[in-house]
Amino acid sequence: MSTIDAPERATPAIPGPPPRILLIQAPYYEAVVGGMRRGAQRVCAEAGATLEVVDVAGAYELPAALRMAQKVAPGWDGFLLLGCVVKGETDHYQFICEAVCQGVMDISGETGLALGFGLLTVETLAQAEARSAEDRHNKGAEAAHAVLGQVALARKWGLR
């Protein structure tokens, strides 16, 4: 982990009823994604949000699952995506990371969904483990803060 310390984030105050968040996870690296999920669950619990978790096969399936969920379950206040891609010896890493990030960005821009995006793109498994630990570097917790902040903003502006 770098020497730069992650900021401490306060759980946002969200007006209205408790938010409903759908967490779509790609648990290929179960220990890593599980750690991120636990960080997200902690943040959501602090905010009084309900969190439902669904699995997809891998990171590549995250954008398609987000698109499906957005179409079939309009009652969600926000969506949280978690996954991990570790660089290997082939170009597979670059293609997957670029495709997933672009797919999620396209959906986000088209729909304006409240979204937290926690896809680790790392060189080593040790880097991923450091970013999924039970501390303030946990990227699942950061992604949960992001989606809850987006939900709060949407409600403030009367969009949800």
Residues 108 and 119: their CA atoms lie apart, in Å, by 15
Which helix (H) or strand (E) segment is 31 a member of?
Answer: helix 30-47
Annotated ligand binding at 57? The verdict is: no
Residue with tokens 């996954």: 83
6 three-class SS: coil
> Is 151 annotated as ligand-binding?
no
Tokens 């991923």, residue located: 128
Annotated active-site residue in 54, 92, 110, 156: 92
Q: Which two tokens stand for residue 67?
A: 């698109």
- Spatial CB neighbours of 123, under 8 Å, sequence gap ≥ 6: 86, 87
- Answer yes or no: is 54 a known binding residue: no
The annotation status of 111 as a binding-site residue, yes or no, is no
89 assigned binding-site residue: yes
Torsion of the alpha carbons at 158, 119, 128 and 6, rounded to the nearest 10? -30
Q: Is 74 helix (H, G, I), strand (E, B) or coil?
A: coil
Is position 79 annotated in a ligand binding site? no
User: Which of 24, 25, 73, 77 shows the shortest CA–CA distance to 47?
Assistant: 77
* 59 labeled binding residue: yes
The answer to the question of whether 67 is labelled as a binding residue is: no
137 is a catalytic site residue = no
43 assigned binding-site residue:
no
Active site residues: 92
Binding residues: 28, 59-61, 84-86, 89-90, 117, 131
Binding residues for (2S)-2-hydroxy-3-oxobutyl phosphate: 89-90, 131
Binding residues for 5-amino-6-(D-ribitylamino)uracil: 28, 59-61, 84-86, 117
